[in-house]
Structure 1
Amino acid sequence: MMWSNFFMQEEDRRRAAVGLRRARGQQQAGLSPERQGKIKLALLVATVGATLSVLSVGTEFWVELNTYKANGSAVCDAAHMGLWKVCTKRLWQADVPAGRETCGPAELPGEANCTYFKFFTTGENACIFQRTTKKEVNLAAAVIAVLGLAVMALGCLCVIMVLSKGADFLLRVGAICFGLSGLLFFVSLEVFRHSVQALLQRVSPEPPPAPPLTYEYSWSLGCGLAAGLVLLLGGGCFLLLTMPSWPWGSLCPKRVQQVT
């Protein structure tokens, strides 16, 4: 009887030890509420960057092309373009601000004609105010921007997997994706800037003569610039969360209160 009680106690201890090890393993596999809060806060920052990037890519106010008002007519021409299409507008000079020498801004009401770039379908260059686009550069800017969106979506998926499944190793992958997405948006902005310069220089020799133009970058490009900065910030936040806590603990040691 004594030996049976002894073996039963040993069996209970063994089961308790196994249960304790399983509980500790589940606790390590899961995320603490504090860490979940930090990851969600970083994800909120990255979501702001994602929203700005989608807004930038989906709109066509990257650059405004304006003719001069002094043309002896009651109307003047302006245009605004993005990655996918260009819109030409005929504005009334009475609506243009008095202190402005050029036609615009493009947000003013007028006769608009918006067309998608043909080099995405037929490979033809677009002609804007007797100037021809350089389709290779425009295509490169659009492809890089779409690639940035795809990498950003992959980063969002990784962070969601971390929060839902506790796959903490994917946090580093998400940080790299968001940082790479921000860099791709900066590259897309620079390539688009070169496409604008190429458009202004490629003047068509055919009549009528090309009117003098000025250009100014608009709010869509500003959204793309802000999106790149915010995505880099979000990627940096996720990267900090993947670092071990002991360097920060050595810099900021916790005070231990002694109970007397």
Structure 2
Amino acid sequence: MMWSNFFMQEEDRRRAAAGRRRAQVQGLTPEQEGKIKLVLLLVTVGATMAVLAVGTEFWVELNAYKANGSAVCDAAHLGLWKVCTKRLWLADVPAGRETCGPAELPGEANCTYFKFFTTGENARIFQRTTKKEVNIAAAVIAVLGLAVMALGCLCIIMVLSKGAEFLLRVGAVCFVLSGLLLLVSLEVFRHAVRALLQGPEPAPGPRLAYEYSWSLGCGAGAGLILLLGGGCFLLLSLPSWPWESLCPKRGHRAA
């Protein structure tokens, strides 16, 4: 009987110690976990938009002006990795447009990946030469933004699954940095488009107009959402005592 009580007490002590260890590891309250999951949902939307923007080629549309007496016109759309030139029928182009397009119209399309990622050669678009250094810089910055974003997602998953609260601040910094990198990539790409259209030498090709398309808008929205999500994670990682002193609960008010 004495030995059975001793073993029962030992088993109770082990369970209590295991419970304390679990409490130390999983230190998130249900309220904190709910807030983190809500912000993670917001960040997931931004991450999806970022991947969609980087992977598609509708960052900018280049449109030639309509030519009198011609039944076709030329348009193109490009992104970080690929350019698609299209020959459209003027009958399909809206009557109020002075230029060809939009590029989503059906026509003869020819899509090619940029050669400066493989052979180092500049691309030719409507007899104009790209500035490969600027294009490569925009692509590299965007890929770095996606990599940092993936690291931030991994940190938040570790916070929710393992209770590693110290990774919450690391994840917040990762999301803020990824949002900034995406926005910087958009600005560098804009400079690449300007360098393409306004080169140092007179352009021998047709006169072009350009308009930014939905992929670039998707990337801008993703960058802003990631910045917002990183800021929210950063606020959640701060200690609660400054907020409790500024906004005391009703039960703690003085009589």
Considering the TM-score relative to the shorter chain, is it more than 0.5?
Answer: yes
Matches within 5 A, 1:195-234: 195-202=192-199, 209-234=204-229
Offset of residue 16 of structure 1: 7.3
Give yes or no for contact 2:182–2:219 (8 Å, CA) kept in 1. Answer: yes
Q: Which amino acid aligns with 1:190?
A: E
1:150 is matched with which residue? 147
1:165 is matched with which residue? 162
Give yes or no for contact 1:52–1:227 (8 Å, CA) kept in 2. Answer: yes
Give yes or no for contact 2:156–2:168 (8 Å, CA) kept in 1. Answer: yes
Matches within 5 A, 1:113-124: 113-124=110-121
Which deviates more, 186-195 or 27-36?
27-36
Give yes or no for contact 1:144–1:184 (8 Å, CA) kept in 2. Answer: yes
Structure 1 residues 21 and 101, CA gap change in structure 2 (3 angstroms): same
What is the distance in 2 between the residues matched to 1:256 and 1:110? 69
Give yes or no for contact 1:52–1:224 (8 Å, CA) kept in 2. Answer: yes
Report how many residues are paired: 248
2:24 is matched with which residue? 28
* 2:66 alignment partner, SS class: coil
Offset of residue 32 of structure 1: 1.9
Superposition CA RMSD, Å: 2.4
Q: Which amino acid aligns with 1:210?
A: G
Give yes or no for contact 1:62–1:82 (8 Å, CA) kept in 2. Answer: yes
Give yes or no for contact 1:76–1:92 (8 Å, CA) kept in 2. Answer: yes
* 2:156 alignment partner, SS class: helix
Structure 1 residues 114 and 257, CA gap change in structure 2 (3 angstroms): closer
Larger Rg: 1
Moved over 4 A (4+): 14-22, 203-206
Offset of residue 35 of structure 1: 1.3
1:99 is matched with which residue? 96
* 2:239 alignment partner, SS class: coil
TM-score computed with the length of structure 2 as normaliser: 0.90
Sequence identity, in percent?
Answer: 77
What is the distance in 1 between the residues matched to 2:68 and 2:238? 63
Matches within 5 A, 1:1-260: 23-30=19-26, 31-202=28-199, 209-256=204-251
> What are the Cα deviations for residues 6-64 of structure 1, in whole angstroms up to 9, with x where unaligned?
xx99xx6x997886566345323212222111111111111011000000000000000
Structure 2 regions of 5+ residues with no counterpart? none
